[in-house]
Amino acid sequence: MTPFEGISGKQSSQEIDKIKALKKEKQETFDTIKEAYAEAKGFDFNKAIIKKNIKNLGMDKEKIAEHEELISLPMNTLNKTNETYV
């Protein structure tokens, strides 16, 4: 019996069709997100800031604070370095 004969074949075909449909849906979702970013850009919103805010929505407050601290450390160092040259 080959893989696409009988019940196994029907199951394989159904799973393949399901995966193809999900991939198509995934691409449509990516296209919709891309359009949303383009629309936001039209309103002069910064794409990087929008992405960061969306990412932060999925984090708990402690993780956000930790992330912000890690970002601010090098910036604070740079600011102190620049102050010594002024």
Domain borders along the chain are 1-45, 46-86
**What is the reported pLDDT for 40?**
94
Q: What is the pLDDT of residue 3?
A: 52
- For residue 24, the model assigns a pLDDT of 98
pLDDT given at position 63: 86
Identify the pLDDT of residue 57.
Answer: 86
* Residues 80, 74: Cα–Cα separation, whole Å: 10
Chunked mean pLDDT (size 10), the chain, 86 residues: 65 93 97 95 93 86 85 76 58
Cα 64 to Cα 28, 30, 49, 70: the distances in Å are 30, 26, 14, 10
44 φψ region: left (φ > 0), alpha (ψ -120 to 50), beta (else): left
